[in-house]
Amino acid sequence: MLEVKHIRAHQEEYTQALKKRNFEAEAVFDSILKLDEKRRSTQKQLDEILSESNKLSKEIGMLFKSGEKEKANALKEKTAGLKEDSRRLGESMSQVGTELQALLYQVPNIPHPSVPAGKSEEDNEEIFKEGDIPVLAENALPHWELAKKYDIIDFELGNKITGAGFPVYKGKGARLQRALISYFLDKNVEAGYNEVQVPLLVNEASGYGTGQLPDKEGQMYHVGNDDLYLIPTAEVPITNIYRDDLLTESQLPIQLTGYTPCFRREAGSYGAHVRGLNRLHQFDKVELVNLVKPEESYRVLDDMVEHVKSILRDLKLPYRVLRLCGGDLGFTSALTYDFELFSTAQDRWLEISSVSNFETFQANRLKIRYKDAGKNKALVHTLNGSSLALPRVLAGILENYQTEDGIVIPEVLKPYTGFDKIS
């Protein structure tokens, strides 16, 4: 979330910037600043009362010591009144703090100046495209038909076991899935990322920390008896590793990668565009997370974009990079690049990765700070990206690498799969 001191200093600038997101901030900013003024005024009164109470306590001790019990008891009555005042002010502080927090949670991140204005994905800006789109035979099949033909993914069996959106990978399909996970992790570790394995369930504080709550509560699976959430992305548990931590400058940058299954309700998703692997309730993803000094975050963002490009070059899949417009930008992000690969059999682009810089938006919620060489404390910048989300990558491989006598395995994956073709 935004820091109140920055809202106060840049109210008009932030109000105009948030119009790129089609978010009218003027009224909510006014309410935030009024509540903050009340909070600071109440805190000042509380500090004065506590100071006076401490002073009187010392004086009472001295009076008792000198035998002046009557004066001491009179002052004790006064401290009782001060105690009641401090209790009342403390309750007021708590109430104001809760109201202020609720308002701050409503405000999305300030978009980077390079973010284009726009209302939907139609207004996203294509900034890069690479790779040759293969020419397939006239009888080329979409991946859900290929999966059935070669018995490598069973959507109906998943529906039987759980429900729609929970496929069962079989035989060479399961091995190809495992190969992609291992390859992605190895590629990330080679680039300097430290691999971690994290829980698949998180508590409410973790969800609020990275911004999935309260913004995306409807998309998350909730385990009511334990008040835990199944993760929608590994970003949540990985970034929360450092929640409430004060880091040293020498610890930065922190570069983490991890594989997890991800769970999303995707309520209301239907139609041909969500067939097969295009949209699932459970899917595998390998994630990148960076914690860096503020002045380094946009260089790191560029590095992450180039890293994801290198993966897609290795897989020899046609892809493009989009800069998301304000209307399509995620709630917590300041700047996001989406990667899409071209599915030749479906004749459409499929999103396979988002790489984002959150600046201090997540770190302020998470209270992740670092101490620089001058002993000054500052919030880190957090970034994350998929490298990659597996379902649509797998769909792209099946469709773009299909031949009349089987599906050829990309060269870079053959050491991981142990076979050259699905046939």
Give pLDDT tens digits for 141-155: 999 999 999 999 999
State the pLDDT at residue 166: 96
Alpha-helix runs per DSSP H in 316-417: 361-366, 390-400, 414-417
Residues 320-343, mean pLDDT to the nearest whole number: 97
- Asked if residue 196 and residue 224 are part of one domain, the reply reads yes
- Asked if residue 100 and residue 131 are part of one domain, the reply reads no
Whether omega for the bond prior to residue 388 falls within 30 degrees of 0, making it cis, is yes
The first and second tokens of residue 356, run together, are 């984002």
Residue 53 assigned ligand-binding role: no
Name the band, by pLDDT with cuts 50, 70 and 90, for residue 305: very high
- Asked if residue 41 and residue 126 are part of one domain, the reply reads no
Residues of the domain holding 96: 4-105
Residue 283 covered by a domain: yes
Give the predicted TM-score (pTM) of the model: 0.91
Residue 390 covered by a domain: yes
Q: Mean pLDDT check: name the lowest of 16-25, 118-127, 271-280, 306-315.
A: 271-280
Alpha-helix runs per DSSP H in 105-222: 143-149, 155-161, 171-190, 204-210
- Asked if residue 79 and residue 134 are part of one domain, the reply reads no
Residue 116 covered by a domain: no
Geometric angle at alpha carbon 124, from 122 and 126, rounded to 5°: 120
Give me the number of domains the chain comprises.
Answer: 2
Instruction: Using alpha carbons, select from 352, 420, 391 the residue that is nearest to residue 131.
Output: 352
Residue 353 assigned ligand-binding role: yes
Average model confidence (pLDDT) for the chain? 93
DSSP state of 240: H
Residue 115 covered by a domain: no
Residue 175 assigned ligand-binding role: no
Non-local CB neighbours of 266 within 8 Å, separated by 6+ positions: 165, 219, 274, 279, 280, 281
**Cα of 319 vs its chain's centroid, Å:** 23
Among residues 105, 137, 153, which one ends one of the domains?
105
Taking only the tens place, the pLDDT of each residue in 390-403 is: 999 999 999 999 99
Residue 114 covered by a domain: no
Non-local CB neighbours of 295 within 8 Å, separated by 6+ positions: none
- Asked if residue 172 and residue 101 are part of one domain, the reply reads no
Among residues 76, 105, 134, which one ends one of the domains?
105
C-alpha distance across the termini of the chain, in Å: 51
Residue 349 covered by a domain: yes
Among residues 74, 105, 136, which one ends one of the domains?
105
Residue 112 covered by a domain: no
Residue 113 covered by a domain: no
State the pLDDT at residue 273: 62
State the pLDDT at residue 238: 98
Residue 195 assigned ligand-binding role: no
- Asked if residue 153 and residue 26 are part of one domain, the reply reads no
Residue 297 assigned ligand-binding role: no
Q: Mean pLDDT check: name the lowest of 117-131, 210-224, 246-260, 317-331.
A: 210-224
Pairing of strands 222-223, 228-230: antiparallel
Taking only the tens place, the pLDDT of each residue in 205-233 is: 999 999 999 878 888 999 999 999 999 99
Q: Is 321 left (phi over 0), alpha (psi -120 to 50) or beta?
A: beta
Residues 21-49, mean pLDDT to the nearest whole number: 93
- Asked if residue 162 and residue 40 are part of one domain, the reply reads no
Q: Mean pLDDT check: name the lowest of 2-16, 76-90, 185-199, 402-416.
A: 76-90
- Asked if residue 61 and residue 32 are part of one domain, the reply reads yes
- Asked if residue 34 and residue 86 are part of one domain, the reply reads yes
Residue 265 assigned ligand-binding role: yes
CA dist., res. 285 & res. 236, Å (int): 13
Q: Mean pLDDT check: name the lowest of 85-89, 258-262, 387-391.
A: 85-89
Residues 413-417, mean pLDDT to the nearest whole number: 98
DSSP state of 21: G
Residue 278 assigned ligand-binding role: no
- Asked if residue 101 and residue 175 are part of one domain, the reply reads no
CATH of the domain at 278: 3.30.930.10
- Asked if residue 260 and residue 193 are part of one domain, the reply reads yes
Residue 313 assigned ligand-binding role: no
CA dist., res. 46 & res. 86, Å (int): 6
**Residue 269 predicted with pLDDT over 70:** no
- Asked if residue 155 and residue 16 are part of one domain, the reply reads no
CATH of the domain at 85: 1.10.287.40
